[in-house]
Structure 1
Amino acid sequence: MRAIFGVLGLLTALAVTGVLVRQQMKTTQPTLPTLPALQQTGEVGLAGTDTTTLPSSGTPTQQSQQIQQQYKQALENALQARPVPDD
């Protein structure tokens, strides 16, 4: 009898956990930006200094190359040494 209650308790805990995880996943999915939304709004980049839009014309290969070039430029800009003020 104790084993049955133990198994039922575990199944109940698993069901509650599953429901909570499902609700959490549903609430986080709509908040992620999609590529067309970023392209239309020109969202601010990670550094917060420039607005970059995705290429809207050309073949997928050309678009991919343009995105790679933009990423490289942004990475190089982020890695540049900044002057340290003398204290």
Structure 2
Amino acid sequence: MRVRPAHRDYWRSVPHAEEWFLIEWPDGEVEPTKYWLSTLPGKTRLADLVDQAKMRWRIERDYQELKQGCCHIDFGLTV
């Protein structure tokens, strides 16, 4: 679904551009579990939007693993 975010539009001379609004609502859940706004172009396929939304989770998970692993490594760097 394409939406137009309205955050502080009263300060703007023109409204924000349209963005994609993605909602994850798994079967059996009472309400949605995740939401995303995306500025990808309007012609972007749904599968590509979902891939991009999920990619952020993978990147954040990998970043956390790297941060935790670095505490146990002595790089031997001196200044």
Q: Which of the five TM-score ranges fits, normalised by the shorter chain?
A: 0.3 to 0.5
Between the two structures, name the one with larger relative contact order (CA 8 Å, sep ≥ 6): 2
Work out which of the two has the higher radius of gyration on C-alpha atoms and give 1 or 2. 1
Higher helix share: 1
Higher strand share: 2
